[in-house]
Structure 1
């Protein structure tokens, strides 16, 4: 038993880490399928207590490798000593690993020791775990197996069923292939052949979905530009560097006036709208003279609905002929606000980061108006929420997102974040303009393909066009509810019932 456990633990951690290879920058999407297949081989038809441990070690492999970029944020930019940063990163992974641990415990309780029932329930359990992880305690909608398919054979299904639907198909494929392998030595070959055919069918049919055009061009393309200032995170909130940062962005922007839209990244102006009033006035005058809308990230301070006192928002505001200001709704814990602030604030420097006092903006905000098109923006982490983006993309022409991925350093984080943004473009049938401080700044078409991108980790300007679209994809109309409902139905009808045979 001890030897078996000594082998099982590293094997499960390795199986979890294998999924990380499915995502950017590796783009080895079969790794997700292989990972889930290994999980089923090791974990199918075990008791609930054992599966809780299995799920936890699997989660440690997945989040310990795939979310390792958290260490860079805490250590390099959070000014936390390396040993403490490593402990905090480990605790972060341990906490996230509880999601697969609890899900696997439920899997054991629902399936019992019946191997066929276990394989039937696995895709539903895995998908529901991902869905819950995306919203519980603000959510961590990252490292979904379906995201890796933005460059894979299942990409055509994203506008139909979204990232969770593709994750479900990936997990179901693994379960069917394992079931086929288990039946291969049976009395008849038709059962494993049928199971294998069922596993491969979605992968063969999914490319045909690309023939459907759920959205269509509306109006003329917009001439756009995104300015990438490549400001060091160490300098960004230094008051003595404020003038230099503004000068960099204005110099990079000067040749761009006359375009329909110029996009500056998240908190490109590291001062509130009141403190930066003179700069904003000068930019507005230039914008009106050239009929250009400038959209910039800025910390916004003032009276806001639902708050009795003036508050800070992480915001985007238009300058020039465009209209609208957007306040970020989905904030990052510890980065933009501190949970249990009265207890934690000041205990370590990481919990006192600059501008970690933001409040979430109100719901049902109006989209930004740019030329003859509109866009409901997403700031940084918000682009990871599939249903949030799909809901707000309705009645808008294109997607726009900004971020300051300098927090991630030279880690996996910026590449994963960009891949997630590409999946949102694919799900909504909308082109995407993404502006960041140091990369990855890009233009993505409605099929999730990169049309143009700026140089990474350099000061650069991206020029191009964005075609506004009209119409809705099926996913925009339904969100994740069809696949969540399907998973729930599979559990209700496939679970072990009291008094039934479990062997």
Structure 2
């Protein structure tokens, strides 16, 4: 295959792999797309620069499609992010030998390392459009309880090796990857569930509205839609979750009329209310994204200020450099980051909380649960986007977080998707986009650890680094012997 055709095929296969992600959800295309690339573009590429070239072509195709949602926030950001994310994923794959027994371990290890790095850099990481999201409708979702999203990604790599070897008709070489791909979900099913401490009724409020609206949408109208939707609902609940930016405060929220209004609502409803404030700082140039817990008897109980901010959404990295080339009027104020684990003390016990984009970061949810959270609340907001891509990926992330932690997840989005997710990743209730609705049902307050909670991501990252280093070392020794 000539070079141009090979790179063109890699580009197409990268885009095809991204169709495994929500909203498309064609989960087999994750391992199939990478496996076809391994067989027809990567295999036999003896020189490192050739492997790097085809890896760059593959991930360029992947992220041109997979990150296209960014154009609704910032086209320059998308243009800058695509090559950066491409190189982060391509470099580890370029180190995997073109042949040899260690290749089957090297591919999953390279995918794990690449995704682990892109979840941290640049600007704190971009974990959206990751390979684990594409598997929430497949058989490997449950394995997140054992090793989190990186474990799911490792299995995508194992599946890709199976596809490569089947295409090469290497029937005997398929055996051990197939055993791993089958054994992992069986082991996950056999793992004991977390402990049920209590059962309560929970409600998630979606205020509704149009998609594709910007941050200048009047805060008052959003608050009133939440109030109208809540007041129109005739049910009763122990816990109610409102969405991100469901209300606001001009100054410290503790002294705001809107907080007093919510305290009265929680008392009238006899419910613990989780709501999110857009709290303007004293200087009026900045703001905090604060989630509060309000007890029905005592009022404000706790607050959590969002700690992991959205680059080009809640702040602009290198603003002075970017401003001459982009319209930053939609991000006129910069957010102030909070700190500490996301956990709220309430009369129902501790509730882990992650705000919006934070649901993509498994370690943030882990911190809140390990700090005592027995259920996870995720107030979020995706109305800036006109399509279902970001809402559906946020829901997929909630499903992964539920499985990893063994906790119920309550996701409240202003315009959708809002959902109630069980600890096995099943979506028990889900809204439609744009609608005003209340989702309610029984959920469990749980305690106890899962392997993913107890160990976190680092053991798998270290193991992947060791495997990839071994691959490089053995390939170098083999090449030295051949030249000698």
Same fold by TM (over 0.5)?
A: yes
1:215 deviates by: 0.4
Q: Which of 359, 366, 373 is 1:383 aligned to? A: 359
Q: Please give the secondary structure, in 2, of the residue aligned with 1:361.
A: coil
Unaligned 5+ residue runs, structure 1? 75-84, 185-191
Give the superposed CA RMSD: 2.7
- Distance in 2, matches of 1:414 and 1:64, equals 19
Q: 1:80-119 to 2 correspondence within 5 Å?
A: 85=75, 88-107=77-96, 111=97, 114-119=99-104
Query: How far does the alpha carbon of each residue in 1:53-85 deviate from its partner, in whole angstroms, 9 at most, with x for none?
Result: 2222111111111221112233xxxxxxxxxx3
Q: 1:40-189 to 2 correspondence within 5 Å?
A: 40-41=38-39, 42-46=41-45, 47-74=47-74, 85=75, 88-107=77-96, 111=97, 114-137=99-122, 138-179=124-165, 182=168, 184=170
* 226-235 or 144-153, larger mean C-alpha shift: 226-235
* Counterpart in the other structure of 2:418: 441
Q: Please give the secondary structure, in 2, of the residue aligned with 1:316.
A: strand
Task: Answer yes or no: is 1:331 the counterpart of 2:309.
Answer: yes
- Distance in 2, matches of 1:355 and 1:393, equals 34
Change over 3 Å in CA distance of 1:413–1:243 after alignment to 2: closer
* 8 Å contact kept, 1:116–1:179: no
Q: 1:208-247 to 2 correspondence within 5 Å?
A: 208=186, 209-230=188-209, 234=213, 237-238=216-217, 241-247=218-224
- Distance in 1, matches of 2:165 and 2:251, equals 60
1:416 deviates by: 1.6
TM-score by length of 2: 0.89
Q: Please give the secondary structure, in 2, of the residue aligned with 1:353.
A: helix
The structure 1 segments of at least 4 consecutive aligned residues displaced by more than 6 Å after TM superposition are: none
1:361 deviates by: 0.7
Change over 3 Å in CA distance of 1:273–1:6 after alignment to 2: same
* Counterpart in the other structure of 1:294: 273
Aligned length: 470
Q: Please give the secondary structure, in 2, of the residue aligned with 1:333.
A: coil
Change over 3 Å in CA distance of 1:243–1:267 after alignment to 2: closer
Change over 3 Å in CA distance of 1:258–1:408 after alignment to 2: same
Q: Which of 369, 392, 395 is 2:345 aligned to? A: 369
- Distance in 2, matches of 1:456 and 1:233, equals 12
* 8 Å contact kept, 1:273–1:298: no
* Counterpart in the other structure of 2:241: 263
Q: Please give the secondary structure, in 2, of the residue aligned with 1:468.
A: strand
Change over 3 Å in CA distance of 1:175–1:232 after alignment to 2: closer
Q: Which of 18, 21, 38 is 1:20 aligned to? A: 18
* Counterpart in the other structure of 1:472: 449
Query: How far does the alpha carbon of each residue in 1:364-396 deviate from its partner, in whole angstroms, 9 at most, with x for none?
Result: 45x213432321211111111112212321221
* 8 Å contact kept, 1:315–1:328: yes
* 8 Å contact kept, 2:216–2:330: no
- Distance in 2, matches of 1:153 and 1:232, equals 32
1:496 deviates by: 3.0
* 8 Å contact kept, 1:45–1:118: no
Q: Please give the secondary structure, in 1, of the residue aligned with 2:146.
A: helix
Change over 3 Å in CA distance of 1:337–1:235 after alignment to 2: closer
* 8 Å contact kept, 1:229–1:460: yes
- Distance in 1, matches of 2:67 and 2:199, equals 40
- Distance in 2, matches of 1:162 and 1:314, equals 27
* Counterpart in the other structure of 1:187: none
Unaligned 5+ residue runs, structure 2? none
1:261 deviates by: 2.1
Change over 3 Å in CA distance of 1:364–1:431 after alignment to 2: closer
- Distance in 2, matches of 1:36 and 1:413, equals 23
* 8 Å contact kept, 1:406–1:438: yes
- Distance in 2, matches of 1:258 and 1:177, equals 51
* 8 Å contact kept, 2:241–2:275: yes
TM-score by length of 1: 0.85
- Distance in 1, matches of 2:341 and 2:105, equals 39
1:290 deviates by: 3.5
- Distance in 2, matches of 1:483 and 1:250, equals 45
